[in-house]
């Protein structure tokens, strides 16, 4: 499948007159939770082949989306991706740190990783994952979804919960693989067992009977701790100067290592 995705991206480059700087599989595959029926979420960053496009009155298309069968493909122009980075966007972070890279201009990716490590706001990411926990718990409380959707929602709750605890405990950027998160985060064993049950069920597509009310009660009881500690996370720093330098070097055809 990886070869097929790379081929599809190559065809997209020709059709759209772009060069893809980085592309990766995100979602359940990169989280270590894929099953035989999992969709393929692909995210990528691209640059226009014609540099003059960036100097035109009409701005270039800054995003590309293709949904086809089990494929959900979304790309951001170099400068849109940079603007998202300035906001410590979690989707860009998950693209750059995905263990399943499809297209990887090595120097560009190293630059992005280095910059994220020193400048991304853990506080912004923390608030994002806290919102994810709360919104998905609210969805579970309504109990209107099918069995498979309910399982996927539980996965989102627990993945966000683990990621947020990693941020709070380590004060550093988290891995996106849930099994690595489980190994890294200190939690009560009972909570880890609940998570493991859900994650394994997602992989096997075996839907267990969930003690939903009990699980929801336990999670809601942690809200005061999470809300208090997310406000104490590092805020990061501005990265516009470095991003401009990286982007301008790309437009000049000089993908250089920026000393971050």
Contacts of 151 (CB under 8 A, 6+ apart): 198, 201, 202, 207
For the stretch 42-90, pLDDT in tens is: 999 999 998 888 888 888 889 999 988 889 999 999 999 999 999 999 9
pLDDT digits (tens, 9 = 90+) for 182-204: 999 999 998 899 899 899 988 88
| CA geometry: angle 82, 83, 89, nearest 5 deg | 90
Q: What is the mean pLDDT of residues 21-48?
A: 92
Give the residue with greater pLDDT, 39 vs 129. Answer: 129
pTM: 0.90
3-class state of residue 55 by DSSP: helix
Q: What is the mean pLDDT of residues 108-129?
A: 95
Mean pLDDT of 36-41: 84
The larger pLDDT score, comparing residue 241 to residue 253, is at 241
| CA–CA separation, 253 and 239 (whole Å) | 21
Asked if residue 116 lies in contact with residue 85, where contact means CB atoms within 8 angstroms, the answer is: yes
Q: What is the mean pLDDT of residues 211-221?
A: 80
Q: What is the pLDDT of residue 255?
A: 59
Q: Does 92 score more than 50 pLDDT?
A: yes
Burial class (CB in 10 A: 0-12, 13-18, 19+), 111: buried
Instruction: Please report the pLDDT score of residue 257 as a whole number.
Output: 47
* CB contact at 8 A, 109 and 96: yes
| CA gap 211, 38 in Å, rounded | 25
Q: CB atoms < 10 A from the CB of 212, how many?
A: 13
How many other CB atoms are found less than 10 A from the CB of residue 21?
20
Distance of alpha carbon 148 from alpha carbon 212, whole angstroms: 14
Helices in 63-172 by DSSP H: which ranges?
A: 78-86, 90-97, 106-119, 122-142, 147-170
Judged against a pLDDT cut of 80, whether residue 142 lies above it is answered with no
CB proximity list for 58: less than 8 A, separation 6 or greater: none
């Amino acid at each position: 499948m990886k070869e097929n995705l790379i081929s599809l991206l190559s065809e997209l480059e020709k059709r759209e007159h772009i060069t893809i700087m980085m592309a990766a599989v995100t979602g359940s595959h990169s989280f270590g939770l894929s099953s035989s029926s999992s969709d393929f979420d692909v995210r990528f960053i691209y640059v226009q082949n014609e540099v003059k496009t960036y100097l035109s009155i009409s701005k270039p298309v800054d995003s590309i989306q293709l949904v086809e069968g089990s494929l959900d493909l979304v790309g951001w122009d170099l400068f849109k991706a940079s603007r998202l980075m300035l906001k410590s966007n979690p989707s860009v972070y998950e693209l750059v740190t995905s263990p399943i890279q499809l297209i990887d201009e090595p120097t560009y990716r190293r630059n992005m990783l280095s910059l994220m490590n020193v400048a991304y706001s853990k506080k912004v990411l923390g608030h994002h994952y806290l919102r994810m926990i709360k919104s998905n718990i609210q969805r579970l409380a309504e109990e209107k979804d099918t069995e498979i959707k309910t399982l996927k929602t539980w996965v989102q709750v627990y993945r966000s919960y683990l990621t947020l605890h990693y941020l709070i405990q380590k004060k550093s950027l988290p891995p996106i693989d849930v099994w690595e998160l489980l190994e890294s985060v200190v939690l009560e064993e009972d909570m880890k067992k609940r998570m493991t049950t859900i994650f394994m069920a997602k992989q096997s597509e075996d839907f267990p009977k969930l003690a939903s009310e009990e699980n929801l009660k336990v999670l809601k009881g942690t809200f005061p701790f999470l809300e208090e500690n997310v406000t104490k996370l590092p805020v990061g720093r501005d990265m516009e100067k470095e991003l401009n330098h990286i982007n301008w070097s790309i437009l000049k055809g000089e993908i250089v290592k920026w000393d971050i």
